[in-house]
Amino acid sequence: MTNEELQVLVEEISDRFFQLPFQHKAYFNPRLRTTGGRYMLGSHNIDINRKYLVEHGLDELIGIIKHELVHYHLHLQGKGYKHGDQDFKDLLKKVGGPRYCASLPESTKRKRILTYICSKCHLQYERRRKINTGKYVCGRCRGKLLFKKEELIEFRA
């Protein structure tokens, strides 16, 4: 689906479910990572995460569009457009939009752990960033710090 097809889809959903025109831009934003879509208060544009279309299909995408259009139309009408506002909850229920979007499959990320050890008291320090062992000393005994090891730990994001 292209940005032009997305624009047409958003306009059709707006007309069909809200009986109001969508007069701004809707486009796929490749920088979105943790959310399905985003309504921009300043420009009134809607950004959509393409990964949700690829991973979950058109039905999930339509739900995300409905959710963002609720923000859009309520904001332009001067009503409560935030998630906690009653106007938002009521209109979302009326148009059948989801409160939250489905989660994307979890990706595995790596975290670097650097271990330093004090030469006097043998206290271990774990850090994510390298430290200058010529400048910094042990906080307990002021002993010299020595680099011990570096590990890469995988975790679910």
Q: Are residues 128 and 74 in the same domain?
A: no
d(CA 89, CA 96): 10
SS3 155: strand
Residue 19: domain span: 3-95
- Per the domain annotation, does 100 fall within a domain? no
The span from the CA of 39 to the CA of 48, in Å, is 9
> Residues 17, 81: one domain?
yes
Asked whether the predicted pLDDT for residue 148 surpasses 80, the reply is yes
CA separation for the pair 156, 137 (Å, rounded):
34
Same domain, 119 and 61: no
Same domain, residue pair 51 and 83: yes
pLDDT digits (tens, 9 = 90+) for 100-113: 888 877 666 788 99
Residue 70: pLDDT above 70? yes
Residue 131 lies in a domain: yes
At which of 74, 95, 116 does a domain end? 95
**Same domain assignment for residues 8 and 84:** yes
Query: Are residues 84 and 11 part of one domain?
Result: yes
Residues classed as catalytic = 68
Same domain, yes or no: 10 and 73: yes
Q: Residue ranges of the alpha helices (H) in the chain?
A: 3-13, 50-56, 58-77, 86-95
123 and 148 together in one domain: yes
Per the structure, the count of domains in the chain is 2
**Among residues 71, 81, 16, 82, which one has the least CA distance to residue 45?**
71
**61 and 132 both lie in a single domain:** no
The CATH code of the domain that includes 36 is 3.30.2010.10
The C-alpha atoms of residue 81 and residue 37 are separated, in whole angstroms, by 15
Q: Look at residue 103 and tell me if it is in a domain.
A: no
Name the average pLDDT for the chain.
Answer: 91
- 66 lies in some domain: yes
What is the dihedral sign for C-alpha 90, 77, 82, 72? positive
- pLDDT above 80 (res 6): yes
Same domain, 139 and 72: no
Tens digits of per-residue pLDDT, 95-145?
998 988 888 776 667 889 999 999 999 999 999 999 999 999 999 999 999
C-beta separation of 156 from 112 below 8 A: no
Q: How far apart are CA 81 and CA 116, in angstroms?
A: 50
Q: Is pLDDT at 157 greater than 80 in this prediction? A: no
